A and B are shown apart, each in its own frame.
Chain A
Amino acid sequence: CTETYAEKYYNRMEVQKAMHANTTGIPYRWTACSDVLIKTWQDSELSMLPIYKMLMKAGLRIWVFSGDTDSVVPVTATRFVISHLGLKTKIRWYPWYSAGQVGGWSEVYEGLTFASVRGAGHEVPLFQPRRAFRMFQAFLAGEPLPKS
């Protein structure tokens, strides 16, 4: 229910004042998601795969992670997508560890790293903050996730 807490907190006048927010008197309440935008969204590219290939060519570090208890954009969807990039494997599938437990599984390709996060839903850092933070540290360091 944490989303309802945000709806209350960010609609408090003193919070908006402290954040220099809503300085133009927006004619609607602050809300976590805009119904208008999601219902009237116009252009949406069918696939990001061509962009991934362009970004790999530009030498960017690309990490894709997936909380494995999400059924909205689930880990199987991400795996289908990655498998169709046709990448060469650098480090084969292995369990990665956080705090002595399996944090998920990972595979490192030429140009992209995949990691699942065990027991996390759609908002991975909400459900598994410690594992998400460990993954973030590895991403910033440009290192594979730990094998123990």
Chain B
Amino acid sequence: AAAGAGVEECEERARNDRVEALPGQPPVAFAQYSGYVTVNEERGRALFYWLTEAAGDAARKPLVLWLNGGPGCSSVAYGASEEIGPFRIKPNGTGLFLNKYSWNREANLLFLESPAGVGFSYTNTTSELKTSGDERTAQDALQFLINWMSRFPQYRHRDFYIAGESYAGHYVPQLARKIVEYNKASSYPFINLKGILVGNAVTDNYYDNIGTVTYWWTHAMISDHTYKAILKSCNFTSANVSRACSRAMNYAMNHEFGDIDQYSIYTPSCA
């Protein structure tokens, strides 16, 4: 009802979102749904979600919303297809195989492509693709949850967690803050947020930067000379980066790191 739709209409939308099976998918015993939830009627913003319910006893397992970062990256591409989802994609996109350690063994997994402009999520106001930021992303994600839980009322009051990585180190706590505030203001709170789980999370500009340069030095990825040059020329308390700082950082990445995958420094990079 919160989304201005009757209960029957919501249930019908849920049925319409049911995914019978994906192309090249092995048979599974859990249900999955995917589709759009409008988060701003006037501007035409709609977010795309994919729900893979828990394998076994979905009705009693918690709901976990997974967000990837970027900003601008897709939870379907990373969280669902490379990390915690039940399927992995075969080389060249020819089909799917099962992920033995899928987190849907323990929970109902909700992947959200956020904000509008990411993956299949869209806005009908094209200029908005260049005005995204933390605040609107968190507000739209809250609106998504409110409307989505009208479509799937069985998840109201269910133990609910938000998880994510990287720039979702912003998205996850900011959405949690909105939910806490929304629940406080509501006489009938139904989003039963129990906790958050963040990995390799962008958290604090200053400490993140200091910690990153420290990691590069302690893991022998950069020389003493470069390390000292960065510490000398970079003022991480400021959001602005000086030319000397950029030069020192770029030298490290382009001349001392070598051709590595910075996201996993001991594995071969993708040719």
A22 to B159, CA, bound (A): 31
Return B119 CB to nearest CB of chain A, in Å: 6
Given contact pairs A20-B36, A32-B78, A42-B133, A26 touches B166 in the complex (Cβ within 8 A): no
**Residue B11 at the A interface, CB < 8 A?**
no
Return A109 CB to nearest CB of chain B, in Å: 14
A130 to B34, CA, bound (A): 27
**Residue A136 at the B interface, CB < 8 A?**
yes
Query: From residue 92 to 123 of chain B, which have CB atoms closer than 8 A to chain A?
Result: 92-93, 96, 99-103, 105-107, 115, 117-120, 122
A5 to B92, CA, bound (A): 5
Which residue from A12, A62, A124 sits with its C-beta under 8 Å from B200?
A124
Which residue from B73, B82, B90 sits with its C-beta under 8 Å from A33?
B73
Count CB-based A-B contacts (< 8 Å).
Answer: 318
Residue pair A129, B101 in contact (C-beta under 8 Å)? yes
Residue pair B84, A40 in contact (C-beta under 8 Å)? no
Given contact pairs A3-B77, A81-B203, A122 touches B264 in the complex (Cβ within 8 A): yes
User: How many residues of A are in contact with the other chain, CB < 8 A?
Assistant: 87
Return A104 CB to nearest CB of chain B, in Å: 12
Best-buried of B20, B124, B177, B204 by chain A (most CB within 10 Å): B204
Across-interface contacts of A133 in B (CB, < 8 A): 101-103, 105
Residue pair A124, B23 in contact (C-beta under 8 Å)? no
A51 to B265, CA, bound (A): 31
Residue pair A40, B132 in contact (C-beta under 8 Å)? yes
A23 to B23, CA, bound (A): 18
Best-buried of B16, B198, B209 by chain A (most CB within 10 Å): B198
Residue pair B211, A80 in contact (C-beta under 8 Å)? yes
A80 to B214, CA, bound (A): 10
Q: With contacts A1-B270, A37-B118 known, what are 14 further pairs, Cβ within 8 A?
A: A3-B270, A22-B120, A24-B124, A26-B120, A45-B134, A48-B170, A48-B203, A66-B200, A81-B204, A122-B263, A123-B264, A124-B165, A133-B101, A136-B107
What are 20 A-B interface contacts by the 8 Å CB criterion?
A: A1-B270, A3-B78, A7-B77, A15-B23, A19-B19, A34-B73, A37-B117, A40-B132, A44-B134, A46-B204, A46-B239, A54-B177, A60-B176, A76-B218, A77-B212, A132-B83, A133-B101, A133-B105, A136-B106, A140-B107
Which residues of B line the A interface, CB within 8 A? Answer: 16-17, 19-23, 34-36, 46, 48, 50, 62, 70-74, 76-78, 81-84, 88-93, 96, 99-103, 105-107, 115, 117-120, 122, 124, 129-135, 161, 165-166, 169-170, 173-174, 176-177, 180, 193-212, 214-216, 218-219, 221, 239, 257, 261-267, 270-271
